[in-house]
Each structure stands twice: as structure tokens, then as C-alpha cells.
Amino acid sequence: MARESESGLPIEPVYGPDALEGRDTAERIGAPGAYPFTRGVYPTMYTGRPWTMRQYAGFGTAVESNARYRQLIEHGTAGLSVAFDLPTQMGHDSDAPLAHGEVGKVGVAIDSIDDMRVLFDGIPLDKVSTSMTINAPAALLLLLYQLVAEEQGVPADRLTGTIQNDVLKEYIARGTYIFPPKPSLRLVADIFKYCKAEIPRWNMISISGYHMAEAGATPAQEIAFTLADGIEYVRTAVAAGMDVDDFAPRLSFFFVARTTILEEVAKFRAARRIWARLMREEFGARDPKSQMLRFHTQTAGVQLTAQQPEVNLVRVAVQGLAAVFGGTQSLHTNSFDEAIALPTDKSARLALRTQQVLAHETDVTATVDPFAGSYVIERMTDDLEAAILALMGRVEELGGAVDAIEHGFQKNEIERSAYRIAQETDAGERVVVGVNRFTLDEEEPYEPLRVDPAIERQQAQRLARLRAERDQGAVDAALSALKKAAESETENVLYPMREALRARATVGEVCNALRDVWGAYVPRDVF
């Protein structure tokens, strides 16, 4: 009896040549490193070098997070991935009333350049690649990073890394938006132009499907809505006067890896093929690098369980393998205790060791794209491609990603999928080991990492000292210049923003200056 994939597509018990009947498989999948990049974006893939091993980390104060980053580097992490606390993500200072109770909880608190200096103290920014999961205030954190590098003597053209900077998915699935869509897209375009001119090796956006998947999106929905957002960003940059080949090589993507290995591998292959065709045929991209869909992967946090948490080690290994078979450029493997609390030092190290075992103790790096030509993978890739294109077509019919967001289309589709998964789990139709089958009568005790609530008071004290020490006149003048630039339709706001941050304006003050001009986004009810 046939099963269904996570996207609701049939999985047959046996596949043979007839599964590919009428399809010129060799032409459709091409060669590794060649259009349409089904088999990977580089000719040698992992046979030349492994993927970048990142570990997403950040909690409490900059001092504590800096210590964790140093430990990860010592253990072999090739790239840092910074988690910011909720107030920072929402553009509020740690002493703002809305920040109460959230300071340092889900990431590190960054209020000013003073915190950023501490966060990267002793870490040579010309030798590490840093990814920052930040969206609405992405420009601020990028500029703070550049300013700290400048103080280290590192020129901006030597900095490598990524800012997430994907605000559209915030309206769909995550909720850490600040400004309305139109000025948010203007800010994205300003970041693109700034990076092109000032930080040319930086990935200026990481268009993210991960959070949609965590909210319940199927693999087909995850790719469809992410690529639709990508189209919107490309259109915005082109409308702002940029040539597609000037910025498209620095676009990157961020996807999830679930435990369903076969569909995940097919999903990544389909995504590369669709994006390559879009960039070449719709946007006229000539540079092959503009046609490549390069992506970071994180294992599926939503599939981790608080029950029997050690089982998550197995889940993460399987998910990591799916990402590697799918051709990811970088990977974060979740810690087994993340369904309970922030990862401990030991669990974070084990997560990194999982990647190292995959890279050095298996043969998955010995050959490029080992699934190529598999009857089942190629058929699943074709089926997923068709399902993804159908969803993208519905987004276009609504006027594109922003208009579809205003209609609530993506959010409603994802919520329906999430509800179906919850029903299947509750009914026992979807087996979750340790939750609805193979359970224990009594769980073993586990001591999680806890954030000291005194952090909020400490950050408030740091802010008070900063405001007492800085040149307030210089801050006020810089913020005034930023507002003037924001009111203009042609001036790039990142240049006055950089000078405000250099003068020790806080994240909250800079965001409030932009709120004064652009307003704050309030979602409308969609029924």
C-alpha cells in the first residue's frame, strides 16, 4: 500500500524506469555545478571540502555568549551563528518596558556597540564566518559588526557571513517584524546596495523557509513560499535600480531538514532547479552564480521532544544526513536538550560532534550527489517541483508575496498543515517515539541550563552608564540625520545609521527613530 509524503504526495512501494517515463532525466538533472544545479551548486561538492559547520548559539549577556563562541571554535566550528534575544529582534533596548522578562532568554542581548565589542572580543573577524539570525533590525547588527571589525583593524571587504534580513517570512510565520512591508522592503534594498559597495563578500539576505516549517509548513509549502519571498526581494532590488547580477550571487537561503530523508533530499534538489530557471528565464541573470541556490540548513527543532530527550541525538543525526545528501552549503545541528531549555556546553558539543562524524567517519563526502539517478528520488523531485510551482502560482495570482501575505494566504495554508499534523499525532497515526508510542512511565531527571534573571538588571545598568558617558548631542544629531534619510525615497539609510551607532546610539533608539518615520506594522485580521 502506498504511503504519502509530508507534502501529501504519493510514495510508491517500488520505483523503476517507468517512474521517469517521458522525462529526459540526464538533461533535467544536469551535472554537479552546472545549470540547473539539481545535483549541487559546485562541481566537486564535499569531495573538495565539507560543508561549513555552524552552531547557532547566544544567550544571556555578551560575556556569556562570547565564552560559548570561543568554546565552539576550539571544538572545531568553522562558522559562528548568533542568536539574539527577543527585545533585540524587536528593536527594543533591554531597559524598555516591553523587554521585561525577555532579556537574554532566547539569545544574547545586544543594546549597543559596547555589547557587540564584548560579544566578539578575542575572535578574529577576518578568520571566521558569522551568520546572524536577525531580521527587522538586520541593518543595525550588520553595521555594529562592521564597526567592531573596523576597531579590530579588519577592513569590511574581508568580512564574510550572512544576515538573515528576511522580513517577509516574519509576517507569515514568525512575528518579529517592526515596520510595515513597504519600508521594510526599502530597507532590504538599501542593505543590498550597501553590501555591494561596502561589504562585498557578505551574504546580504538569508531567505528563510525554516521558520515556516517550524510553524507547520509541508516541504512543498516551505520551498514555495520561500522562493516566492525571494522573487519579491529580487523584484524590489531591480526596481531600486540594481542589476540582477550585481546582487544575486550574494543571496542565500535557509531551510529545515526533517527526519524524512528521501523527501528532504528531493526538496532541496527541486528548490535548486526552480530557482535556477527563475533567475535565468524571468530575471535574465547571466552569471551562473546568480542562478545558484546556496543554502544553510538547520535540523528540525519542531521534531525534538522533551520526552526521552536523548532520542533527539538520533533524530538530529538523521536530519543532518538528509541535509548533507541534499547538498547544503552549511549546517547547524540542534542540541538534544533544546526541547527543554537552552543547550548546555556538553549538548552543544555533541551536536557539533554529530556533524564531524558525518563528515569524517562516513563515506558521504566521497562522491558527489550519491542519489542522482535514483528512480524514487528523481520521481519525488519531479513531483515536488510540480507541487511547489502550483503553490507559487497561487501566490502570483494574488499579486505576489506581499499581497498574498496581506490576504493571509501563506499563513492560512501553513496553519492548516500544522493542524493536520497535530490531529495525526494525537490520533496516533503519526508515530512520535517517546510521545505517543514507546513511552516511559517515568522520565529520567534532567538539569537544564537556566539564564540568570539578574541579566536584565545588569543590561539596564550598562545602558545607564552608556547614556551618561556618550556625547548626547552627537547622538541626537545622528538620529536626526537618520530620520531625514528615512523620509527621503532615494537616500540609503545605512550610512547615517552607521554613524548613529558609532556615536553609541542604542538599538532601541535607532529603531524608534525609524518607527517615528515609517510607523509600526499592525497585522490585520484575515478570516
Give per-residue pLDDT as tens, 416-437.
999 999 999 999 999 999 999 9
Q: How far from 254 is each of 131, 371, 430, CA to CA, in Å? A: 11, 22, 26
pLDDT at 110 over 50: yes
CATH classification of the domain holding 39: 3.20.20.240
pLDDT at 260 over 70: yes
pLDDT at 444 over 90: no
Radius of gyration (Cα) for the chain, nearest Å?
Answer: 23
Cα angle, residue 322 at apex, residues 317 and 324 outer, rounded to 5°: 95
Tally of CA atoms within 13 A in the half-sphere of 31 that contains its CB? 3
On whether the CB atoms of residues 105 and 83 are closer than 8 A, the answer is no
pLDDT of res. 527: 40
Find, among 518, 517, 514, 494, the residue nearest to 156 by Cα.
494
Range of lowest pLDDT (270-284, 315-329, 334-348): 334-348
Residue 183 lies in a domain: yes
Higher pLDDT, 174 or 394: 394
Cross-strand partners of 254:
208, 296
- What is the share, in percent, of the chain residues with pLDDT greater than 70? 98
On whether the CB atoms of residues 38 and 381 are closer than 8 A, the answer is yes
pLDDT at 127 over 70: yes
Q: In 210-310, which ranges are continuous DSSP H helix?
A: 210-214, 219-239, 244-247, 261-277, 288-291
**Cα–Cα distance between 359 and 49 in angstroms, integer?**
10
On whether the CB atoms of residues 318 and 259 are closer than 8 A, the answer is yes
Cα angle, residue 109 at apex, residues 107 and 115 outer, rounded to 5°: 130
Residue 146 lies in a domain: yes
**Cα–Cα distance between 45 and 362 in angstroms, integer?**
15
User: Average of pLDDT values for 96-106?
Assistant: 94
Residue 374 lies in a domain: yes
Residue 509 lies in a domain: no
**Cα–Cα distance between 97 and 215 in angstroms, integer?**
28
Residue 243 lies in a domain: yes
The reply to whether omega before 43 is within 30° of 0 (cis) is no
Find, among 247, 173, 262, the residue nearest to 210 by Cα.
173
Residue 457 lies in a domain: no
Give per-residue pLDDT as tens, 212-230.
999 999 999 999 999 999 9
**What's the first-to-final CA gap in the chain, in angstroms?**
38
Find, among 202, 181, 113, 186, the residue nearest to 492 by Cα.
186
Amino acid at 85: D
On whether the CB atoms of residues 313 and 224 are closer than 8 A, the answer is no
Q: What is the DSSP string of 21-75?
A: TT--HHHHH--TTSTT-TT-SSSSGGGTSPPEEEEEE--BSHHHHHHHHHHHHHT
Beta-carbon contacts of residue 288 (< 8 Å; ≥ 6 apart)? 35
- Average pLDDT over the chain reads 94
Residue 189 lies in a domain: yes
Cross-strand partners of 296:
254, 330
User: Average of pLDDT values for 9-30?
Assistant: 80
pLDDT at 11 over 50: yes
Tally of CA atoms within 13 A in the half-sphere of 252 that contains its CB? 23
Query: Count of domains in the chain?
Result: 1
Count of H-run helices and E-run strands, the chain? 21, 11
**Cα–Cα distance between 155 and 203 in angstroms, integer?**
16
pLDDT tier, 330 (very low <50, low <70, confident <90, very high otherwise): very high
pLDDT of res. 2: 66
pLDDT of res. 5: 94
Domain span at 248: 3-360+369-426
Residue 180 lies in a domain: yes
Find, among 189, 44, 55, the residue nearest to 131 by Cα.
55
Provide the 8-state DSSP code for 283: S
Helix axes 181-198, 138-152, angle to 10 degrees: 20
Find, among 193, 90, 72, the residue nearest to 129 by Cα.
72
Tally of CA atoms within 13 A in the half-sphere of 191 that contains its CB? 31
Find, among 48, 49, 29, 50, the residue nearest to 40 by Cα.
29
**Cα–Cα distance between 44 and 33 in angstroms, integer?**
8
**Cα–Cα distance between 182 and 185 in angstroms, integer?**
5
Amino acid at 480: S
How distant is the alpha carbon of residue 270 from its chain centre?
A: 19
Amino acid at 321: L
pLDDT at 331 over 90: yes
pLDDT at 236 over 50: yes
pLDDT of res. 56: 78
Cross-strand partners of 233:
none
C-alpha cell at 201: 563578500
pLDDT of res. 524: 72
Number of residues that make up the chain: 527
Burial of 257 (0-12, 13-18, 19+ CB in 10 A): buried
Find, among 520, 396, 408, 405, the residue nearest to 168 by Cα.
405
C-alpha cell at 271: 528548490
Q: In 75-129, which ranges are continuous DSSP H helix?
A: 86-89, 113-119
Find, among 332, 331, 333, 335, the residue nearest to 306 by Cα.
335
Give per-residue pLDDT as tens, 358-412.
999 999 999 999 999 999 999 999 999 999 999 999 999 999 999 999 999 999 9
